[in-house]
Every structure is written in C-alpha cells, then in structure tokens.
Structure 1
C-alpha cells in the first residue's frame, strides 16, 4: 500500500490534499488517499476503552463542583473561615465583597499550582512510561488527597489535600486527552475526545447534588470532600484494564503490543499499514535526537506552540471556571438564598452537561471552528447582559437589591453562557491541543498546554472574588472582552482539523494562509 502511494504523481496528491484540507475532510495518514481510512469504524473495544479513559474527567469535574459548594456551607466556614460568616451577617456589607478572602480562594486555587507542576512532570512520565501509567498515577494521588481533605482538622490539612488533588488532576488531564486522540478513529476523534469534557460535566453535576444534600449537616462538608475518592477509584481501576495507545507502545519499542492494541481498536486483523506508519513516525522522531522540550520551540513548530498555549489560556479567561468554582457563592452574592444558590449551581451544571452532549454530535459534523466561533459569540452576549443586569439592580455600590425576576434572568443568562461554553471552548480546549502536535513533541506540547491551563486557572480563581469586590459588575465586562479577543483569534489563526489523521496534521499548517510561512520551507 505504501509503495503504491509513493508511485502516485506528486502534483495530483498535493492538489487532492489541498481540496480535502480546505473542505475540512479526512484522508489516510500513510498515503493521503480518500479510501482505506485505517479502520475508521467505531468498535465496541474502542468505545469501552475511551469511556474508561474519559472517566478521568470525573475527578476534575467533581473537584470543580465540590469546592464552590463547600465554601458556602456554614459548618465549613465556622471551622475554617469564621471571618466570612461575620462579614456576611453585617447588614452594611457590600454584596460583591462578602466572600472576598485570599485564604478562602487559596483553598480552591492551590490545586492549580500543584496541577501546573504536575503537568510539566507528566509530559516526561507520559513519554517514558505511557499514557495508561500516567492516568493510574494521577488517580492514586487524587485518592490520597481526597482522604486528607475529608479528614481535615485545620487549614494546613486542607491545603495539603488540595495540593495532592492538584497533582492527580495534573497527571490525568495531561494523559487522558492525548490517549483519546491516539486511540479514536480519525473520523470520530472529536466525539471521543469530547467525552473527557462530558465526564467533567458529570463530575460537576454529581458534586453539586451532593453539596445540596449535605449542606445542612454539620459533617456535610467532610462527606462532600471525602467522596472525591470515589471517582478516583472508578477511573484508576478502569485504567488498569485498558491497553496503552498504539502510538505510546511503538515509541517505547513495544511493537507487538502496539499491533494488538490496534487490532482491538480497529476491529480487524489487518492493521499493518497503520502500524507501519506509526513505526515510521516513531523512528523519525528518534532519529532527530532532539529533546522534545527544546524542539517544540523551533520555528517549524510555531503554529502548534502558539495555538497550544493560547487556546487553554483563552478558555480560562472566559471566566467559566470562576463561575463553576464559585457558582453558589456568586448566586448568593447576587440575591439567591443559600439553598437556592446550590440549586442554581445544579441547574447550571446540568445545562453544561447537556451542551457537552451537543458537542459530541456536532464536532465531527461541522468541525472545530464553527463551534469555537458560535460559542464565543454566545458567551460574549451573555456576559455583557449579566453585567448590565447587575449594574441596573445591585449597582456599583453593591448595596442594591435584586428582584426575584432579575435573579432568575441572571440564572438564565448564566445557563446560556454555560451552554455556549459546553459545546465549544469546554471540550475543544482539550481536543485541539491533543491533535495538533506531531508524535515527537506531543507529550511535551500537551504538558505545556495543560500547564498554561492550570497556571491561568490559578490566577483567575485566586483573583476573581477580589476582582468582583473591587470592580463589581465590570468584572464580567473584563471577561467578555477576552471572549471577543479569542473569537477573533480563532477566526484568523485556528485551522480546521476535523477528520485529519494525527500523523498527517502537518498538511493543515502548509495550507494555512498565515502559518504556511513557518512550515513550508522546514523539514517535517
């Protein structure tokens, strides 16, 4: 098959490839031909494998959902942050500033400093020990952190537990997206990879429901934090029974195991053509002899590096995670009661989860760019509208009163905002970086992308409550401005990657009107 491919006229192949790339269509990794898409059908084995791998999102989603709800529980605040209860009881308190506490935000954001460090280490672990091992390691670390948090008797234990959770999330968030992209058939890679975000959404909803059920119990916060061990066990045990990716096995010299993994994933015995391409890509990467973390900064990888950094950065400056972390706090601050705020957070989580399902069905039909652009416009409108409502009701002073109707309208706008994020920047931030890097720098590239994501999340989550206190409703205008910038960036600089095999992704950059000047005269 490879010999036949090589005999085709070069001009004919290049013209065909250009048409397919501009149309967003798929083609074969080895020969660049429209037929023989290396077992693109969906098999039961690959579905089960990808579901188990994507369940790594459960631990991240559970933590996102649980932390915001716990910080509104009176028993938790009485034990660790009594000053916030005192401030909330003051009738003259600015509503925007009730939860403005750097110590409280450190409880939430400390996880992301640990995640940032772990994601850098995880790149090397993933490359040397495999994707599967990294997920298991992350699950075990997260499990230990959950136990410490649930048993905490002081703030030091809380922070130590959060740091361990961060290390766990850092490892799993680095390994899982690349695992999904490498195992899934190219035609359906977007849907399978979006499963990671879907499980994040499931984790958020489960956590919000648990928070609501335990909020009135004096030990409720312990149960909420300690139950994070359950999704860690689910993911870790599941990961023990799935094979590593063919790409990872080949790069580590385990060719026979890689072939068996391919046979299971593709559902057919004849996988020699695809396996030979994986071997060739691995040999090329090793022949270069460059350190991946040094190679990635070379000019020929500029497109991947820029997009791999900016997309996770932009995802966080949409403000989505501060809304997810602090949804109960936020809703309480704008006029919801404590119980109502937790219910509103559950509704917000369900909307986000439903929108993840929408993305699964649309991402491989309409492509990445359409969802990026549509979601960006929708989020921008909602953020500006929320700022307008807060300005008209609570006002700049923060002492105004919000009517029930206005509070409900804020919730509706937040749900529309969450929906726009859930089918665009939520799943695509994990998908696009996992598919744009060539094999030789994939682990290093994903490490950088995840590190940027965690670093930005830390800064945003650590500063949001202070920003809300100081800038009031204009904090939402700050995030809406970033949404406008990132939507323009996608329109100009992010190419369509739908349906393109991972080892043929370099063709995308060669055909892009801006990025081609970085790669056209460079070796692949």
Structure 2
C-alpha cells in the first residue's frame, strides 16, 4: 500500500514490515470491531435458545416437529432480513442499516421473553431473526469496504469472532441462569422463569450495538456511490491510507453506472439466470450450513442429555464446545491472510469430513432409539472429542473464511445486493438443517451425521473446483 499524501509515519509502522501506520490500523480495527458487534448479536440471538429448548417444549407442550419449527423460525426471519438488507444498505447506508438491525434485535429479545405460546414466540423470534440476517450482510460488506487489502482477511474474520463470542456468552448466560434457578424451567426473578430471562438478556447488547453504530463512519464506497466524494476521501485518508485520489477514481470506475441503486435483476447472468460469481457465493453459504455446524449450537444441550449427561453437565459441555469454537476462530484469524481463504476451506472440509464420519459411526454403536439413546465407553468419549475437533476445524476455516470471501468476492457495484442473496441462501440452508435435525435424530443420529459427512465431502470438491483465492487483492480489481 502506498503512503498517504499527508506524509509517512516511518516510526509508527507495522511490526511485521507492512506499511499501514499503527494509528491508522488501530482506527480501522476499532470501526471494524464496532460493525462486527452485529455478529455478536447474531451469535447470541441464534444460540440463546439452546438453553431454553427443553423448558419451552414442556411449557408449551410442543411436539418435536413444532419445537424444531420454533427453534428454526428465527432463521426464516434471518433469510428475509438478509434478502432486503443489501438493497436497503445501498439506499440508506451501512451505518443506518446497523441501527435499524439493533432496534429489531431489541424488540425480538423482549418479545421472546414475554411470549405466551408457540405462536407469539415464533413471531418474536422471526423479528429478531430479521435483525440477525441484516447484520450478517451489513457487517462483512462494511468491513471489507473499510479495510486495507493486507488486513482485510483478519478484519473480516472479526465478524466470525464476534459470532462465536456471542454464542459463548449466550451459552454461558444460559448455564448460569439455569444453575441459579435450578433449571431453565424454574422461576428466577420477578415471577419469570429462567428461560424467559435467557431471551431477555439479548436486549443489553442490542442497545450497545445501536449506540456504537452511531459513532462509526459511513463506508467510503457508499459515500462515493452517493456523490459525497470529499467525505469518502477523508474516510479513506483516515482509515485506509495510500493515494486516496487514485483510490476514489478506482472506486468510481468499479461502480460503473454511478449512484443508481442496484436491483436483484442486476445479478442476472448466463448460469441458470445468475452471474457465476453469485452462484459461487450461494453455494459457499449453503455448504457452510449443510455440514451441520449449527446443530451443535442449537441442540447440543439436548443432544448430550440424550446420550447420558445431566442438564447442568450438558450445558457445561456446550460452553466448553463454544470455547473450542473461539480458540479455532483465533487460529483462523492468524492464518487467513497468510495461507489464504481457499487453503483454509480445503483443510477445514477435510477435517470435518473425518470427524463427522467418526460421529456417525459412534452413534451407530448407541443403544436405544430416536433421541433416547446412550453411548457406552469408549464411543461416548470418541463422540465428545470428535464433536469438539469438528467444531475446531469449522471455526478456523469455514466459519471466518466464508464470511471474508462473501465480503470481498463481489465487485463494488453488486457487493451488498449479491451478499444479501448469498446470506439469504445461507439462512434458508440453516433453517433446513435446524428444522430437519429433530426428525432425523428421531430416526437415527447415524443418519443425521452421515448426511453432514456427505456434505463435507461435497464442500471439499466444490472449493477445489470453483473457488478463487482473493487474498491480498484490492476490492476495486475484483
């Protein structure tokens, strides 16, 4: 990266030999972290239901099919939120879209806590899910548009780090509240049962997300699109550096038609009605979910109880698994700008294929039927370790790398809209996996994990054949 026109800062450069001054790098890390707070709520909102599953099933006398739909309903909302977030962000800006998402997060959290039955709980979960979907589009697009090329992988991975931290905190809060009350179904405070307080706690980070979003600058590429070139130049100079005038020209050139809004029809192309790059983003998103990662986080407490653990022990194992997820994400952040996105995806898919295969085999040794099964030694231990290695492999590869790729693989003009379509596909895939798992596990856990094993193999083949490396490339050249 060339130095800013305001002059070099030779005594304040990166220790690793790069040319991004530490002060500027600190600024872009801060604004990227602020945007990634949406990812924290994303992880928190989608995982907080983990500790409530058994309690709400009993509270509202739900069948396994209805329970699966209620748990998965937030994902339908997320698909809707993601679908519209791109066009909305192109019209009103990334920052204002974040504030709207924060408001929806808050409404969904409070509404879920006050739910009176499966229908009202589903409605509030869908509203919260719309915020999740919007955040899943806006944060990676914003971070990719703010970050210098040499830092973009690590900064883009902050989205995934925030997601896994949200998952961890949600599971930790669930475990603490359940332990204090006695169980998720017992009363905790003000006449409210613990599971209601689990949902309500999401309101706090929602408020913080909204307030912090108001303090960060708008994306320079959005500003250029809207004709606010001088403000875009100031933002680039402060957070990115280099020859800002040349960068403005490159952005203008890459936008092509200038300030007009991008519509879904602009994604049309010769490959089954869409541009090939859009299909690549859609399939990356689908495979990220079809390997079954969210089964671990949405149903892990119920899953481990089904193989002999007590509720408190199962919640603790879920928290430990979430910690493994965080460690893996840090590994991914350390590697993504060194070995590249594609290499991480190939390694991760290979390890997931092996560990999911082991899980499927372990459950073939279970006694009992449906979810009322038990694993004898050593299969219980092998299953537990395999699940955590699987989570680790996903966390350093398909977790961060897919979000980074989605943020940078599309050109400036279609980025937000194409990312919205890919993210909507991801949430629909997530819904399909979450909705079908209770039924599949009722038939056979071997069948469920066998399917995820097959998808891990297909994901490996797809990445090898169709995904291009984007490491180190400027967004304007893609």
TM-score by length of 1: 0.82
Paired with 1:118 and 1:474, the residues of 2 have a C-alpha distance of 32
1:381-405: CA deviation from partner (whole Å, max 9, x where unpaired): 1111011111113366776532365
CA contact (8 A) 1:201 1:349 kept: yes
CA contact (8 A) 2:87 2:262 kept: no
d(CA) in 2 for partners of 1:258, 1:290: 18
Aligned pair in 2 of structure 1 residues 402, 66: CA closer, same or farther (>3 Å)? Answer: same
Aligned mate of 2:52, from 70, 75, 88: 70
- Alignment partners' CA distance in 1, 2:25 and 2:314: 42
Unaligned runs of at least 5 residues, structure 2: 1-17, 188-192
Question: Counterpart in 1 of 2:473?
Answer: 500
**1:121 aligned to which of 84, 88, 93:** 84
Question: In structure 1, what is the equivalent of residue 217 of structure 2?
Answer: 243
1:369, 1:494 within 8 Å by CA — same for their partners in 2? yes
Name the structure 2 match of 1:329.
302
Q: Deviations over 1:6-33 (max 9, x none)?
A: xxxxxxxxxxxxxxxxxxxxxxxxxxxx
Supply the distance in 1 between the matched residues of 2:374 and 2:462 (Cα, whole angstroms).
38
The answer for the alignment partner of 1:357 in structure 2 is 330
Task: Determine whether 1:464 maps to 2:437.
Answer: yes
Tell me by how many angstroms 1:349 deviates: 0.5
Give distance in 2, aligned partners of 1:257 and 1:487: 43
Q: Which structure 1 segments of 5+ residues have no match? A: 1-36, 84-99, 506-524
Q: 1:127 to 1:388 in 2, by over 3 A?
A: same
1:80 aligns with 2:45: no
Asked whether the equivalents of residues 115 and 170 of structure 1 are also in contact (C-alpha less than 8 Å), the reply is yes
Which of 414, 417, 436 pairs up with 1:444? 417
Report SS of the residue matched to 1:440: coil
Larger Rg over CA atoms: 1
8 Å Cα contact 2:370-2:441 kept in structure 1:
no
C-alpha contact (below 8 Å) 2:50/2:297 kept by paired residues: yes
Q: Take 2:281 and 2:246, find their aligned partners in 1: how far apart are those partners?
A: 30
Question: For residue 87 of structure 1, what is the aligned residue in structure 2?
Answer: none
For the pair 1:139 / 2:102, whether they are aligned, the reply is yes
User: Is the 1:396–1:472 contact (alpha carbons within 8 Å) kept by the matching residues of 2?
Assistant: no
Aligned-pair distance for 1:295?
2.3
In 2, the alpha carbon distance for the partners of 1:356 and 1:399 equals 33
Tell me the residue number matched to 1:424. Answer: 397
Instruction: Map Cα deviations across residues 252-311 of structure 1 (whole Å, 9 max, x no partner).
Output: 11112111211220257x5222122223323x2339x79542121224973311211100
What is the CA deviation profile of residues 322-352 of structure 1, one whole-angstrom value per residue up to 9, with x for unaligned ones? 2211111111122221111101100110001
CA contact (8 A) 2:308 2:375 kept: yes
Which whole-Å CA distance do the structure 1 matches of 2:134 and 2:447 have between them?
Answer: 35
Q: CA RMSD in A?
A: 2.2
TM-score using structure 2 length? 0.89
Distance in 1 between residues matched to 2:269 and 2:20, nearest whole Å: 34
Note the alpha carbon deviations across 1:11-67, whole angstroms, 9 max, x for none. xxxxxxxxxxxxxxxxxxxxxxxxxx9958762211110111111111111123211
Checking the alignment, whether the CA contact within 8 Å between 1:307 and 1:433 is kept in structure 2 is: no
Distance in 2 (CA, whole Å) between partners of 1:44 and 1:275 is 22
**Residue 316 of structure 1 corresponds to which residue in structure 2?**
289
Query: Retained in 1: the 8 A contact 2:168–2:319?
Result: yes
Q: Partner residue of 1:206?
A: 169
What residue number does 1:181 align with? Answer: 144
Distance 2:370 2:318 in 1: 25
1:260 aligns with 2:231: no
**Cα distance between partner residues in 1 of 2:372 and 2:58:** 25
Cα distance in 1 for partners of 2:129, 2:153 equals 26
Whether the 8 Å CA contact 1:54–1:176 is kept in 2: the answer is yes
